[in-house]
Structure 1
Amino acid sequence: MDDPQTATPDAPAPAPVYPERRLRLSAERVDSERRKTADESRGSMSTGRWMWEWTKAISTAILLFLVIRTFAFEAFKIPTGSMEGTLLVGDFLLVNKAVYGAEIPYTHAHLPKFSEPRRGDVIVFLPPHDPHKNYVKRIVGVPGDTLEMRDKVLLRNGRAQSEPFARHTDPLTDPQSEEMLWQYRYLVNPPAHWSDYHPTRDTWGPIVVPAGKYFALGDNRDNSEDSRFWGFVDAEAIKGRPMFVYYSFQHDITRNFDWLTGVRWGRIGELVH
């Protein structure tokens, strides 16, 4: 007698995978693998690579700063009172170096200028007697001008000048100085001998400004070491024109943190005229 056979249920048929679903699953798998690879790459970036990226960023910033400082703008501090009335000791100025054509470092060449120095311009320059120190004065004479001073009054080409910016604080004295005898070579009508020329701080000339030179005075006329004493400013020595005061403070050794407590807030942003 034959053994009875056990019935085996049929296995369920696999669900059909349509082409659209298969493509979507493949795209999702590829995208997942791409994200995983990117995460692993970022996580495995070496310390050296990270430092190199920061070094490049910092170097670029420093290079841009040096380019701007060399050819466009530079900061200067007023150390003396020779320009008082216009600028004060402790003023920090932002100077436009491009306006007169910035000098290319280690050469005597200059970039193209936007303007020639003009009468009345306040300038930053290197004086002939101390070519490593920045001075700030005002141009009162340009090439070809005839200049003289009579009892503190400046005459240019024979005409007295109105100078509202000029300040006189010493009305009682008018000292002579041997430093001013350089003017003898440029006098319009020089005496027979240089010893017969007796210029004083407030009375001198008339002298003629030669080509390529400028005559600069401090606004604080009675307390300024300027062209009256050491001569003309060479055009190549002019570094720029101050634009505005970006910071100012009054130094006082009796106060703590005077760089903060002595800030002249009202002068910050003041234009230089």
Structure 2
Amino acid sequence: MAFDFELILAAAFLITGAFWVYDRIVYAPKRALVLDSMPAEAKKALNKEAQQRLADTPKYVAEIKSFFVIIAVIFGLRSFVVEPFQIPSGSMLPTLEIGDFILVNKFEYGVRLPVLNTTIIPTTTPSRGDVVVFKYPENPSLNYIKRLIGLPGDKVSYRNKELTVNGEPVDKELLAKLSVSLNPSREPVQVFKESLGDVEFETYNSYRNTPKEGEWTVPEGHYFVMGDNRDNSADSRFWGYVPEENMKGRAFYVWLYWNEFFSLPSFKHNGLIK
């Protein structure tokens, strides 16, 4: 069952914040009066927790409001600066592996309101070749990661494993032929280096028939995305375009690799995402 962690964190921020404000208005002045009436030595003898319980402050109020600052810091950083994600599938192989933990720049595509994802301060717009995280259009509680191929107005074609944008073939160079694990089985693939704008990255093509071919014209306010694991990716070829308001940010760094719970984490993949 999917759940929206961003929504849960926002609710925690609002609830603990409400208790913090309630305490500041109702109980903090009473505590101050009690402390002012106490001898200096008695004040020193009280630890911080004991001070919070003065003036009959309910324990549940003191407990809940104590989490506000840390939740506010996490909420602010995660909403406006950088957000961590874990790669759950092989759709972005070989760029990103299952178990990679990545960081996403949240302000590069504009400062957005948490949960609503509405842009309040525009910055830059997404570029072809960016690795982007977005809310899945068919279920916004899910976050997807793909490579941005088509901008609004672009004409994208994918036939016979060849990608073109606005009639221009994307530069493609064969690097190797490998046998790799593509969830759920092991199969031979060709590894290519592709160039899209100023971005160079690697892709996989299997020897199977291309699962989805066609031509698409990207509507205004939307983007066309594909996985680097071209024949093993559910992307815009299957479920359509990503609305601009669903964009969350650009993935820019792998900081940890941990593919199984009972395995040891590794830093072997650490580095910038191309």
> What TM-score results when the alignment is normalised by the length of structure 1?
0.66
Unaligned runs of 5+ in 1: 1-36, 176-200
Task: Identify the residue that residue 267 of structure 1 maps to in structure 2.
Answer: 269
- Post-superposition CA distance 1:10-65 (Å, at most 9, x none): xxxxxxxxxxxxxxxxxxxxxxxxxxx64443025685315699987653222111
2:117 equivalent to 1:81:
no
Which of residues 191, 196, 210 is equivalent to 2:219? 210
State the Cα distance separating 1:112 from its structure 2 match.
1.2
Query: Structure 2: which 5+ residue stretches go unaligned?
Result: 1-38, 173-192, 194-200
Correspondences of 1:61-100 after superposition (within 5 Å): 61-100=70-109
Structure 2 equivalent of residue 138 of structure 1? 147
The corresponding residue for 1:14 is none
Q: Which residue of 2 aligns with 1:168?
A: 204
**Which entry has the higher C-alpha Rg, 1 or 2?**
1
1:125 equivalent in alignment to 2:134: yes
1:41 maps to 43
TM-score, normalised by the number of residues in structure 2: 0.66
Match runs of 1:149-228 below 5 Å: 149-163=158-172, 164=193, 165-175=201-211, 201=212, 203-205=213-215, 207-228=216-237
**Which residue is equivalent to 2:10?**
none
Partner deviation per Cα, 1:125-169 (whole Å, 9 max, x = no partner): 112222221100000110111111221111111111025234234
Distance 1:46 1:271, change over 3 A: closer
1:48-83 deviations in whole A, cap 9, x for unaligned?
A: 315699987653222111111122211111000000
Amino acid across the alignment from 1:48: A
> C-alpha offsets along residues 184-223 of structure 1, whole Å, 9 cap, x if unaligned?
xxxxxxxxxxxxxxxxx2x311x32111010000000010
Q: 1:47/1:167 Cα in 2 relative to 1: closer, same or farther (>3 Å)? A: closer
- What's the CA shift string for 1:92-133, capped at 9, x where partnerless? 111111111243135463231321011000000112222221
Amino acid at match of 1:156: V
Judged with a 3 Å threshold, the aligned counterparts in structure 2 of structure 1 residues 78 and 50 are, in CA distance, closer, same or farther, namely same
CA contact (8 A) 2:90 2:229 kept: yes
Give 3-state SS (helix, strand or coil) of 1:266's partner: coil
Identity rate, percent: 37
Letter matched to residue 273 of structure 2 = V
Superposed CA RMSD in Å reads 2.5
- Give me the whole-angstrom Cα distance separating, in 2, the residues matched to 1:109 and 1:170: 39
Q: How many residues align?
A: 202
The residue correspondences of 1:2-13 to structure 2 (distance < 5 A) are none
Paired residue for 1:103?
112
Larger fraction in strand: 2
C-alpha distance in 2 between matches for 1:47 and 1:141? 56
